[in-house]
Structure 1
Amino acid sequence: MTSKTAGSTPPDNLRPPPQAVPQINKVTAGDIAAALKAGLADFRAHPLMSGFFGLFYAVFGILFVWCLVWLGAIWMIIPAAVGFPLVAPFAAAGLYEMSRRRQRGESFGWSAILTVAANQRKREMGWMAFVTLFIFWVWIYQVRLWLAIILKDASFSDFYGFWNTVFFTPQGWTFLAVGTCVGAFLSAVLFSVTVIAMPMLLDRETDFVSAMITSIRVVTENPVVMLSWAAVISAAMLLSLVPAFLGLIFTLPVLGHATWHLYRRAVPPVEG
């Protein structure tokens, strides 16, 4: 007679169903153009609500830079401004929800969108925020490292001294070249793991690791188109910083809405 240990093997009906691997579509330049067009339409449909998220992000950036000046960390202003757009995907949760509801033909108000955006901290997107902020921290730390190695004798008593040292000396040019290469690598890594993962976590009940893997798959299977999208985002966000971060009031909402629509084109919705 064969003995069985109670509880050694859980019944099939108690096992969590395995998650299906998301299908990945081929993404083209036409998809990017269509996503931008849809993103602009979402912004025009709800300019005040969309602009609110852009304004919040811009005000946070202004306060962040002001704190650096107040703390005397002049050297951090430029790298912080350049790296600041790295955390934009997490700030766009409310924009993704607006686009999702518009795509479904659902009506919504301020309370519904703000509640969904606030509740993301309790879900897997909180882990994605940790990943994003960790890479941002690595970006700032490596800038400080190269400052110490390359510009060790420089003195940054004010912003203009830092500007002149970095942009008008041979050591500064070396620092810019090295920092640009390292920054490009970190940005590519962060873009790859978040561009699809962020809207996917809002849209589906999945874990952040699976969402990151799906995001990486979309990028690796559509490298040219997705890296072109990264270039569009980077150029638009950096240009938005020039007028004291205020350009973000427009560009962040449009790019956030567009990212949602690109996600829906890259990853088909779950059937059923």
Structure 2
Amino acid sequence: MDLHLHGLDDHFSMPETGKVNAMRPFYWLKMGWTDFTRHPLPSLCYGIITALLGFAVLKIASSYTYLSSTAVTGFLLLAPLGASGIYELTHEREEGREASFIQSLRDVVHNLGQIAFMGVILGFIAMSWERISAILFALFYGGEAVGMQFFSHALTSEYLGFTIAWSLAGLVLACVVFAISAVSIPMLAHRDVDTITALVTSVRVVAENIPAMLVWATIIVLLTAIGFATYLVGLVIIFPLLGHATWCAYRDLVH
């Protein structure tokens, strides 16, 4: 599906983008694992930090039902930003430099302003999602205190409307975040470009590769679900694996 985004080249200095087949994400995952094994220790550092942050977020939000569910999705909305250093690990190796955790943090700084601006955008979306969730809870539960019974209520006819509305709102925001961050953050870590150029490039890549991106999004969701199902322990490996695979996707799709 072509959304005719090439007209934006008249206003921005846009890189060339490529098209791949629907099964290409499995190649990205394979190459991501290869990169992971080439520098496992610094990669695992990012995985451990992410898992600990995720645990802290869930712990803080555990007292409030709507915050628990919102915290998980909000954490996922911001997680791509945390992979910036992982992208630098592979970039360092590609340039023949020693890949280390400390060096990857130093390399991120070269375009920190634009990466931080991307963080502001993702943070705004995450806060918007928290507000949307709070409003939906207020509308459907009428201020009623809900605990563990929320999960059974959500699937009953009485609260099915809430479940549908909340799920649709989350799906829309997730699609937006996926479209704008699919390759934008590795692009910002790799090139001296502005955030808008990276965002537009990411949206173009997704629009031009919808079958592959649907497969890629499904892989990300399934692996992330495994990470949460293992009480975030699985994220220690899954997060850096997806980070390296995302770098491979960026290098494959943006020229």
Do the structures match in fold with TM over 0.5?
Answer: yes
Alignment counterpart, residue 250 of structure 2, candidates 263, 268, 272: 263
SS of equivalent residue, structure 2 residue 221: helix
Write the letter of the residue equivalent to 1:205. D
Aligned to 1:139: 129
Write the letter of the residue equivalent to 1:140. E
Write the letter of the residue equivalent to 2:61. L
Write the letter of the residue equivalent to 1:195. A
Q: How far apart are the structure 2 equivalents of 1:109 and 1:205? A: 22
Write the letter of the residue equivalent to 2:58. V
Is 1:68 equivalent to 2:61 in the alignment? yes
Aligned to 1:127: 117
Aligned to 1:14: none
Matched length: 245
Whether contact under 8 Å (1:154, 1:165) holds in the other structure is: no
Is 1:200 equivalent to 2:179 in the alignment? no
Q: Identity across aligned pairs (percent)?
A: 29
Cα distance, 1:112 vs. partner? 0.8
Structure 2, unaligned stretches of length 5 or more? 1-10
What are the residue-to-residue correspondences of 1:210-221 with 2, within 5 Å? 210-221=197-208
Is 1:232 equivalent to 2:219 in the alignment? yes
Aligned to 2:7: none
Is 1:87 equivalent to 2:75 in the alignment? no
Q: How far apart are the structure 2 equivalents of 1:254 and 1:147? A: 35
Write the letter of the residue equivalent to 2:149. G
Larger Rg: 1
Aligned to 1:53: 46
Whether contact under 8 Å (1:125, 1:201) holds in the other structure is: yes
Q: How far apart are the structure 2 equivalents of 1:193 and 1:171? A: 36
Deviates more, 1:189-198 or 1:101-110: 101-110
Write the letter of the residue equivalent to 1:209. I
Write the letter of the residue equivalent to 1:85. L
Aligned to 2:13: 20
Query: C-alpha offsets along residues 227-271 of structure 1, whole Å, 9 cap, x if unaligned?
Result: 221121122112211222221111110100000010001011xxx
Cα distance, 1:153 vs. partner? 5.5
TM-score, with normalisation over the residues of structure 2? 0.89
Cα distance, 1:30 vs. partner? 4.2
Write the letter of the residue equivalent to 2:215. S
Write the letter of the residue equivalent to 2:152. N
Write the letter of the residue equivalent to 2:137. L
Write the letter of the residue equivalent to 2:121. V
Aligned to 2:105: 114
Question: Aligned Cα RMSD in Å?
Answer: 1.9
Cα distance, 1:133 vs. partner? 1.1
SS of equivalent residue, structure 1 residue 22: coil
Is 1:97 equivalent to 2:88 in the alignment? yes
Q: How far apart are the structure 2 equivalents of 1:123 and 1:40? A: 30
Deviates more, 1:210-219 or 1:100-109: 100-109
Whether contact under 8 Å (1:150, 1:171) holds in the other structure is: no
Q: How far apart are the structure 2 equivalents of 1:217 and 1:148? A: 37
Whether contact under 8 Å (2:28, 2:249) holds in the other structure is: yes
Structure 1, unaligned stretches of length 5 or more? 1-17
Q: How far apart are the structure 1 equivalents of 2:112 and 2:86? A: 18
Query: C-alpha offsets along residues 138-169 of structure 1, whole Å, 9 cap, x if unaligned?
Result: 1111111111111226322x4x23333334x3
Q: How far apart are the structure 2 equivalents of 1:212 and 1:161? A: 40
Whether contact under 8 Å (1:82, 1:238) holds in the other structure is: no
CA 1:22–1:121 in 2, change beyond 3 Å: closer, same or farther?
Answer: closer
